[in-house]
C-alpha cells in the first residue's frame, strides 16, 4: 500500500461515504472495461524485493530511516518495520536478455545499498523470514515512522478488537499473541508484476493461481520464526494470522480472511475488484475529491483512488492492480507468492520460471484451470508452504482420460513445467542464453532437492549437532546465509553447515 495517507480518526459517516465512493469506482472500472479504454499489450514486467537490515552478529537492526537517508534513491522505500527496506526495479519489456539485465541492475542497487547500510554498522539480507527475529523485535514501537503504517495498524487492531493470535504447527509449534500487526513485518517477499490486457487478465491470473504452490515448492525460504522451526515457507500462515481482522467467532462463521488465496477461478479482472468490495470492509476510509463517473463522462481517465487504496488492504497472493501510465489506464497481475532471496540469481530464476510458465499455461487450448479444481490449487499452495521441495501436488493428467494425479513437486516441475516455462519465455522473445541459465537453476534445485529453506534447516541442525545453543545456531546460520548470499552463487550450490574455524598460529 504505497499511497500517502495521513493518520487520523474516522467516524461513521466517513465509512458510509467511502463505501458509496468505492461502488462508484467499481462502476467506473466496469465502464472502462466495457469501453476498451485500457493500454495495448506492452509485455511489461516489474519487480519489487523486500529486504532486511542485519548487523554483523546476524541480529536485526532497526535503522531503515538512517539507511534510506544515506541511500538517497527513490528506488528504495520504507517497509512496515524499522528493519525492513524495499527496492523497486523500473518496468522492463520481456524479451532478449532481460533477465541478465535485471540481475545486473539488482546487483548494482543492492551492493550500493549494502555499502550505505555499512555506514551505520548494518547490512542487507534477502531472506523470507529473518531467523534471528525475536518477539520483542516485532512490536508496534518498531513500526516504521510513516503515517500509513501507524494508521493501518490502528485500524486492523480496532477491527479485530483483541490481541492477534499466532498459532503455526509445523516441525515445531509456535503459539503466541501480539497487540499489533508488527509480526507481519517478518515476512519479506518478492513481488512480480505483469501488465496484461483486460482480455488476457483472467487467463494470466488463473494460471498464476494454479502454479502458486509450485512456486513455493521450488522457492521456499522461510522455515524459522521466533526460534521455532515451522513450515518450509512460514510467511503465508504468519501473514494471514498477523493481519486477521476476524475474532474467533467470525472465523467460525466462515468470514474470509484479508490474506486470502481466493475461492474460485475468474472470468474477468472485474470479478476480483468486485469481490474485494463485497467481502471486505474498508480499513482506511479516505475519500478522494474526484468523482470517477464524472471524469469518465468528460472523456477523462479516473484515478479510482478509493478502489486502489482498498485493493491494497486485501492481501491476495495474486493481486489485481489498476494503474495509470502516461494518462492511459492499465491492469497488472501482482504475484506476491515468493519469499525474498536467497541470491539475486535465485530471485531472477524464480521470476523467469514464473513469467514463462504463466504465459505458456495462459495460452494452452485446454487451460489447466478447466481441469484442476480450485480447491486442489489451494491445497497445493498449503502443501508447498508446509513441505517445500518435498511437497506433493495434485495436477491434471496428461492422458486423454483426464482427471488428476498426485505427483512430487520436483517431478512435476522437471518433467512438465520447465519445458512449458521455456516455451513461454521463447514466446516472450527471451533469448536461449537467459532461458537456459535461469531455468537451469530451477532444474538443479529440483535435481538436488534443495532450496533456501532446506539449506537453512540443514545448516541449523548441523550447528546444533556441533554443540551450539539454539539461539547461537540460528545466529550462526543467519551470518553464514548472509555471507553466501553476498557471494552470489545460487543456493543449490551452497555447502551445508558452518565453515570450519581457522586454526590459530
The residues, ordered by sequence, that sit 6+ positions from 500 with a Cβ below 8 Å of its Cβ are none
Which of the 8 DSSP states describes residue 172? S
Task: Check whether 189 has a pLDDT greater than 60.
Answer: yes
SS (H, E, C) 189-213: EEEEEEEECHHHHHHHHHHHHHHHH
Q: What is the mean pLDDT of residues 352-361?
A: 98
Q: What is the mean pLDDT of residues 207-222?
A: 98
pLDDT level of residue 2 (50, 70, 90 thresholds): very low
Question: Can you give the C-alpha Rg of the chain in angstroms?
Answer: 22
Task: Check whether 95 has a pLDDT greater than 90.
Answer: yes
Beta strands 259-260 and 315-316 are parallel
The pair phi, psi for residue 195, each rounded to 5°, is -75, 130
Please tell me the distance from the alpha carbon of residue 159 to that of residue 258, in angstroms, as a whole number.
12
Do residues 85 and 103 touch, judged by C-beta distance below 8 A? Answer: no
pLDDT level of residue 22 (50, 70, 90 thresholds): very high
Please tell me the distance from the alpha carbon of residue 457 to that of residue 316, in angstroms, as a whole number.
28
Tell me the pTM. 0.95
For cell 482420460, name the residue.
401
pLDDT level of residue 505 (50, 70, 90 thresholds): very low
Please tell me the distance from the alpha carbon of residue 242 to that of residue 234, in angstroms, as a whole number.
12
Considering only residues 426 and 282, tell me which one the structure prediction assigns the higher pLDDT.
Answer: 426
State residue 325's pLDDT score: 92
Give tens-digit pLDDT for 38-54: 988 889 999 999 999 99
Give tens-digit pLDDT for 190-208: 999 999 999 999 999 999 9
For cell 545466529, name the residue.
475
The residues, ordered by sequence, that sit 6+ positions from 169 with a Cβ below 8 Å of its Cβ are none
Task: Check whether 3 has a pLDDT greater than 60.
Answer: no
State residue 311's pLDDT score: 95
Task: Check whether 503 has a pLDDT greater than 70.
Answer: no
* Residue 384, all three cell numbers: 508447498
Amino acid at each position: 500500500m504505497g499511497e500517502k495517507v495521513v493518520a487520523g480518526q474516522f467516524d461513521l459517516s466517513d465509512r458510509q461515504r467511502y463505501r458509496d465512493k468505492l461502488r462508484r469506482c467499481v462502476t467506473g472500472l466496469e465502464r472502462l472495461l466495457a469501453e476498451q479504454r485500457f493500454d495495448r499489450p506492452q509485455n511489461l514486467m516489474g519487480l519489487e524485493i523486500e529486504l532486511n537490515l542485519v548487523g554483523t552478529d546476524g541480529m536485526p537492526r532497526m535503522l531503515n530511516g538512517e539507511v534510506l537517508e544515506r541511500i538517497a534513491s527513490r528506488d528504495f522505500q520504507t517497509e512496515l518495520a524499522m528493519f525492513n527496506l524495499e527496492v523497486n526495479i523500473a518496468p522492463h519489456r520481456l524479451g532478449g536478455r532481460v533477465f541478465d539485465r535485471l540481475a545486473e541492475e539488482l546487483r548494482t542497487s543492492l551492493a550500493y545499498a549494502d555499502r550505505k547500510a555499512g555506514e551505520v554498522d548494518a547490512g542487507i539480507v534477502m531472506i523470507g523470514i529473518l531467523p534471528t527475529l525475536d518477539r520483542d523485535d516485532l512490536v508496534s514501537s518498531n513500526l516504521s515512522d510513516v503515517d500509513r503504517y501507524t494508521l493501518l495498524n490502528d485500524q486492523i487492531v480496532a477491527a479485530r478488537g483483541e490481541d492477534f493470535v499466532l498459532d503455526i504447527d509445523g516441525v515445531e509449534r509456535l503459539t503466541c499473541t501480539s497487540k499489533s500487526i508488527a509480526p507481519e513485518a517478518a515476512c519479506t517477499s518478492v513481488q512480480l508484476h505483469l501488465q496484461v490486457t483486460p482480455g488476457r487478465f483472467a487467463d494470466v491470473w488463473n494460471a498464476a493461481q494454479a502454479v502458486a504452490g509450485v512456486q513455493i515448492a521450488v522457492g521456499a525460504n522461510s522455515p524459522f520464526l521466533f526460534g521455532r522451526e515451522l513450515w518450509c515457507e512460514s510467511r503465508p500462515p504468519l501473514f494471514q494470522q498477523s493481519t486477521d481482522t476476524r475474532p474467533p467467532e467470525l472465523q467460525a462463521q466462515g468470514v474470509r480472511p484479508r490474506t486470502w488465496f481466493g475461492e474460485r477461478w475468474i472470468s474477468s479482472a472485474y470479478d476480483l475488484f468486485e469481490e474485494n468490495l463485497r467481502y471486505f470492509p474498508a480499513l482506511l476510509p479516505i475519500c478522494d475529491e474526484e468523482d470517477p463517473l464524472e471524469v469518465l463522462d468528460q472523456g477523462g481517465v479516473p484515478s479510482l483512488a478509493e478502489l486502489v487504496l482498498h485493493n491494497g488492504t486485501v492481501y491476495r497472493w495474486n493481486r489485481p492492480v489498476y494503474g495509470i501510465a502516461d494518462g492511459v489506464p492499465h491492469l497488472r497481475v501482482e504475484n506476491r507468492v515468493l519469499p525474498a532471496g536467497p541470491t539475486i540469481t535465485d530471485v531472477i530464476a524464480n521470476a523467469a520460471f514464473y513469467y514463462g510458465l504463466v504465459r505458456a499455461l495462459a495460452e494452452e487450448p485446454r487451460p489447466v484451470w478447466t481441469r484442476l479444481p480450485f480447491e486442489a490449487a489451494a491445497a497445493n499452495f498449503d502443501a508447498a508452504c508446509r513441505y517445500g521441495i518435498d511437497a506433493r501436488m495434485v495436477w491434471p493428467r496428461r492422458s486423454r482420460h483426464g482427471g488428476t494425479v498426485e505427483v512430487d513437486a520436483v517431478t512435476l516441475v522437471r518433467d512438465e513445467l520447465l519445458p512449458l516455462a521455456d516455451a513461454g519465455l521463447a514466446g516472450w522473445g527471451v533469448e536461449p542464453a537467459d532461458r537456459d541459465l535461469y531455468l537451469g537453476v530451477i532444474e538443479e534445485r529440483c535435481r538436488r532437492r534443495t532450496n533456501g529453506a532446506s539449506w537453512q534447516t540443514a545448516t541449523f541442525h548441523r550447528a546444533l549437532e556441533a554443540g551450539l545453543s539454539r539461539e547461537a545456531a540460528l545466529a550462526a546460520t543467519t551470518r553464514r546465509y548472509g555471507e553466501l548470499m553476498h557471494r552470489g552463487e545460487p543456493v543449490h550450490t551452497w555447502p551445508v553447515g558452518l565453515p570450519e574455524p581457522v586454526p590459530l598460529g
